[in-house]
Amino acid sequence: MTSTKFRIVIIEDDHTLRDGYAYLINNSPSSVVVASYCSFDHAKNNLSKDRPDVILLDIQLPGTNGIDALPALKKLLPDTYVIVLTVYESEKTILHALANGANGYFTKNNPFPKIIDAIQEVTQGGGPMSINVARTVIMSFQRNQNSPLTKRETEVLILRSQGKDRSQIAEELFIETETVKTHIKNIYSKLNVNSRADSIRVARENKFI
């Protein structure tokens, strides 16, 4: 009964993984792979024709990466669910992917039956994630939403709490060292503190970071 099976599209640049996923999904009773592509750029013109229910999307792709591809996919196929399947599990990447419209997020080291379960879950309206991903998301939501700090100032303070100096922060956020200095001055004035240690302590106590 192929017609009742979920139609899956795989966008993954590693051909071993792509073929492996296709094989395992086709072996599962509930899903069938209708197409698999090595990049979003190759996939975008065919997706409307493929009419997938679920897309398994890698992040590191040649050309348009997975994060940037997400809004385009959502615009192209608003009713299709997208599960990100990647090796990246940093908070920044996870939140970026979810903000861009990902319905699920899994790391590739998960046993494949879990991915099959995730396909079922996502079509029932769930937001499947691997444990480590869910933990990262929860931790980020535990932050105080009424923080007086701007998004950028919060980023600067988080990096400072990780022991980074001004030049490293500047390098990471692609801004000037002087700008970092200004952010830090603003943070101190908003939190009414005079030292790095105090700023981090106050921010932590109030869950600003």
Chain positions contacting other proteins, by CB under 8 A: 14, 16-17, 20-21, 23-24, 27, 87, 108-109, 111-113, 131-132, 135, 160-168, 184, 188, 194-197, 200-201, 204
Nearer to other proteins, 74 or 181 (CB): 181
Q: How far is the CB of 144 from other proteins (least distance, A)?
A: 17
- Asked whether 85 and 9 are in contact (CB, 8 A), the reply is no
* Interatomic CA distance for residues 7 and 129, integer angstroms: 20
Q: How far is the CB of 131 from other proteins (least distance, A)?
A: 8
Nearer to other proteins, 3 or 90 (CB): 90
* Interatomic CA distance for residues 48 and 62, integer angstroms: 21
Nearer to other proteins, 103 or 136 (CB): 136
Nearer to other proteins, 119 or 200 (CB): 200
* DSSP β-bridge partners for residue 49: none
Nearer to other proteins, 5 or 108 (CB): 108
* Interatomic CA distance for residues 8 and 53, integer angstroms: 6
Residue reference for tokens 């990647």? 86
Q: How far is the CB of 26 from other proteins (least distance, A)?
A: 10
Pull the structure tokens for residue 123: 């079509």
Mapped onto helix, strand or coil, the DSSP state of residue 129 is strand
DSSP for residue 43: H
Q: How far is the CB of 140 from other proteins (least distance, A)?
A: 13
* Interatomic CA distance for residues 61 and 43, integer angstroms: 12
Nearer to other proteins, 7 or 166 (CB): 166
Q: How far is the CB of 49 from other proteins (least distance, A)?
A: 28
Strands 54-57 and 81-86: parallel
Strand boundaries in the chain, DSSP class E: 6-11, 31-37, 54-57, 81-86, 104-107
* DSSP β-bridge partners for residue 30: none
